[in-house]
Amino acid sequence: MQKKILPHGMNTLFDNRQQPIDSQEDRNRKNLPRVALLSLLAAGASAIPGAAMADITSNGSDITIYGKIRSSWDYVTYDQASGVDDVDDDTAVFRSSYLGFKGTEALTSDLAGIWQVETHLHTDKNVVQLRNTFVGLEHDKWGEIIFGKHDTPYRMNTNKLDIFRDTIADNNNIMGTHLVSNDIDGDGNADKSEIGVDVMLPKRNFDERASNLVMYQTPKFHGLQGLIARESFSQPEDDSDDEYEGFSGSVTYDRKPYYAAVAYEMWEGDGNRNATGRDKVDAWNFAAGYTFGNRFGKSKICFIYEDIDHGEQNSTMSRSAFWTGFSHRIGANEFKIAYAAADDSEASTRAVGGNDDGADNLSIGIEHHFSKRTRVYAIYTHMDNDEHANYGLFKQDNTWLGASTGINSFYAHTGANGKNIDSISLGISHGF
């Protein structure tokens, strides 16, 4: 069996999801009519037998179909006020599942056209929402440029280190997330909790997939690589001369067994879906990872530090945080533990009690790999919120589609601060 080799540099952009390609005879047997292909692209979330339709041809171009289906059952317990029974949430979640189509066309000996269409899969509302979807050019020596919707360099900077990625213990429970005041009743004023301070809700300002993005990625040079991206918005500038825009950039060193990276991201105006007013918000992070193995198995240790800074209008959003994780795999079983902590924000005043709004998140889990494509897992995670904090646990379920603020991405309180959250999650993941 021959393996499909994409042009130089495509591995990074396509997140290492290339699939093996069958012989020419098998491929011809599996080809679909062009009309059927167009129907699949329009439907996005149609059911597709992975092995039988991994690669198809349209108009002389090879198209790879890929995806991942992830689901979990989550039992979540929320602390309540004194004398009130805790609230339990027993639910099934379809987690960040996706279906994608991608391809490449050789334009010259060293230049290729690249494209990708990728959609979320949601079992409840049967709604299609685009993920990383773009078109661009890739050159062997000069790197690649894409236009469309894609993870920002800041987000990509730490994705590969998250040992609990796309589970209830995802490191974005704290990393890339910070707190803002909430207006639940829509009266234009932040609601108050029973202790007299603004109800705080988690916002994923720095876990972004930008919709109107142009991104340039350099070739790798001895493991070093740079990315820079800009997101622009259709709203024109106003009299304040304050543009609606975002910038993101990173420099990574990825050469086994070492990984190190630094990234910076900035949003201003109302462009970012979670920003408020015309205030500027920016952040930087540093990430490092090391993989090592011996006769007892293979281990991975990771560390991330992050600092988010908001302008004067919303100083409660400014905070620093760190996350560290360790995993060890023996045979088909992998054991994991991770800890994250958010410091108190830079808020100088509060109605009650000062700025005690940090949090700690501890997660432990075990994962069994049936194959490279199929795994099951069990996770316990605990979020310990300080008195005025309200960080949550990653959900990313179907309700996220309608969330303009990002709160529905989390299991979190909507009417009280300082409440702890515990969860047991049992899940399965299958890639094709």
Three-class DSSP category at 109? coil
Domains and CATH numbers, the chain: 10-431 (2.40.160.10)
From 139-143, 270-274, 320-324, the region with the lowest mean pLDDT: 270-274
Q: What is the pLDDT of residue 175?
A: 94
287 near 304, Cβ under 8 Å? yes
**Rounded distance, CA 425 to CA 432, Å?**
23
From 8-12, 85-89, 260-264, the region with the lowest mean pLDDT: 8-12
In sequence order, the β-bridge partners of residue 427 are 72, 377
Q: What is the pLDDT of residue 186?
A: 44
237 near 168, Cβ under 8 Å? no
Q: What is the pLDDT of residue 239?
A: 52
Q: Average pLDDT, stretch 306-317?
A: 72
In sequence order, the β-bridge partners of residue 341 are 322, 360
Q: What is the pLDDT of residue 263?
A: 98
Residue 278 pLDDT exceeds 70: no
From 74-83, 185-194, 258-267, the region with the lowest mean pLDDT: 185-194
**Rounded distance, CA 73 to CA 425, Å?**
6
307 near 287, Cβ under 8 Å? no
Residue 81 pLDDT exceeds 50: yes
Q: What is the pLDDT of residue 58?
A: 73
For Cα atoms 248, 41, 133, give the angle at the middle one, nearest 5 degrees. 5
Q: Average pLDDT, stretch 345-354?
A: 55
Q: Average pLDDT, stretch 306-326?
A: 82
Residue 64 pLDDT exceeds 90: yes
From 219-228, 259-268, 339-348, 412-421, the region with the lowest mean pLDDT: 412-421
Q: What is the pLDDT of residue 313?
A: 57
Could you tell me which residue, 77 or 2, shows the higher pLDDT? 77
Residue 153's nearest CA partner among 245, 216, 243 is 216
Could you tell me which residue, 261 or 59, shows the higher pLDDT? 261
Residue 23 pLDDT exceeds 50: no
Residue 34 pLDDT exceeds 60: no
Residue 154's nearest CA partner among 231, 255, 63 is 231
Q: Average pLDDT, stretch 217-246?
A: 79
For the chain, percent of residues with pLDDT exceeding 90:
48
- What b/e string do you get for 249-281 counting C-beta neighbours within 10 Å, with b at 16 or more? bbbbeeeeeebbbbbbbbbbbebbbbbbeebbb
- In the numeric block, which tokens belong to residue 348? 């100088």
For Cα atoms 46, 49, 50, give the angle at the middle one, nearest 5 degrees. 105
421 near 232, Cβ under 8 Å? no
- For the stretch 393-418, pLDDT in tens is 988 744 444 443 344 678 877 667 78
Q: What is the pLDDT of residue 234?
A: 57
DSSP 1-12: -PPP-PPTTHHH
**Rounded distance, CA 303 to CA 324, Å?**
4
Confidence of residue 235 (pLDDT cuts 50, 70, 90): low
Q: Average pLDDT, stretch 31-54?
A: 41
Mean pLDDT of all residues belonging to the chain: 77
User: Alpha carbon 424 to chain centroid distance?
Assistant: 21
**Rounded distance, CA 418 to CA 195, Å?**
10
- In the numeric block, which tokens belong to residue 256? 């086994």
Could you tell me which residue, 277 or 155, shows the higher pLDDT? 155
From 28-37, 132-141, 199-208, 353-362, the region with the lowest mean pLDDT: 28-37
**Rounded distance, CA 157 to CA 168, Å?**
20
Q: Average pLDDT, stretch 355-361?
A: 88
158 near 340, Cβ under 8 Å? no
Confidence of residue 275 (pLDDT cuts 50, 70, 90): very low
177 near 121, Cβ under 8 Å? no
From 78-87, 200-209, 361-370, the region with the lowest mean pLDDT: 78-87
Q: What is the pLDDT of residue 267?
A: 84
Residue 36 pLDDT exceeds 70: no
Write the single-letter amino acid at 257. P
Sorted by sequence, the CB contacts under 8 Å of residue 250 that are 6+ apart come out as 153, 154, 156, 157, 226, 227, 261, 262, 263, 264
Three state DSSP letters for 163-203: CCCCCCCCHHHCCCCEEEECCCCCCCCCCECCCCCECEEEE
283 near 154, Cβ under 8 Å? yes
20 near 108, Cβ under 8 Å? no
